Amino acid sequence: MDPRPTVIVTGASRGVGAAVARWLGSQGVSVSLVARNQNALESTASEVRDLGGTAFVIAADVADPAACRNIVEKTIDRFQSLTGLVNNAGILTPMETVALAGTNDWRYNIEVNLLGPVYLSKAAIPALRQSHGRIINVSSGAAHHVIAAASAYCAAKAGLNQFSRVLAAEEPDLTVIALRPGVVDTQMQKLLRKLGPEKMPPEQADYYVNLKATGQLEPAAVPGRSVAWMALYAPRDWSGAFMSYDEPQVSEPALAVFGESHG
């Protein structure tokens, strides 16, 4: 059996997910990298290996329950254990009002952002019970704040927070935490800036434009470091909490363990 921690990271082809994988790789962790884009995953895998980790690429759509079961099965077959699951894969679209949003687009958003973490968690529970492992669900401030024209995303993240709380209550051998990654300089923010002026009230659209213009967006590596630390070290008594990447009890030990750079 591989003695190193083994963590599944979804949405690992770019952004926060890729950053989480790189941080884990810098600590020699075995990481299963999941996303739909095979080529982008291979790029992340190469970086993880260069940093000293072991990378296993699984191209899959987390909206598919059978694919989620397969992800967990393949990971355990490859590494003989599972110690962590980072549910990071997410989409923003449809960027449209409830009245105008396509039904299939709205449903797919829920499938990726909420049901994917449910499917993966369900499949991973038996192995994580054995390892007293951790599930880190990457949530959003949108779970509480209103984002006009992003109803599916907001609803999914609110559901993800409550799902995390219930799962934590049901599974005392697991540590389950929902984590807010802050406003991060990713493709999602780029999409908000692109579509916001057409779809949102002017003051809300301006907010996202100004975040970029005034340098308020975090590089993905910063929240990624917090997520990676949580996946390895989050205390059991935090289970069920909705936390932020920049809370001192998260960010300070993460910086102490990983440092400022991947090495």
- Rounded CA gap, 180 and 232, in Å? 17
CB 231 within 8 A of CB 169: no
Cis amide bond preceding 235, omega within 30: no
Edge-first strand order for the sheet with 175-180 is 54-59, 30-35, 6-10, 84-87, 134-138, 175-180, 242-244
Among 108, 153, 208, 245, the active-site one is 153
Nearest C-alpha neighbor of 133 from the set 120, 114, 147: 120
How far is the C-alpha of 159 from the C-alpha of 115, rounded, in Å?
A: 9
249 three-state secondary structure = helix
Based on the residue annotation, tell me whether 208 is a catalytic residue of this protein. no
3-state helix/strand/coil string of 121-165: HHHHHHHHHHHCCEEEEECCHHHCCCCCCEHHHHHHHHHHHHHHH
User: How far is Cα 114 from Cα 194, in angstroms, rounded to an integer?
Assistant: 25
Largest CA distance in the chain: 56
Please tell me the number of Cα atoms within 13 Å of 120 on its side-chain side.
Answer: 36
Known catalytic residues are 153
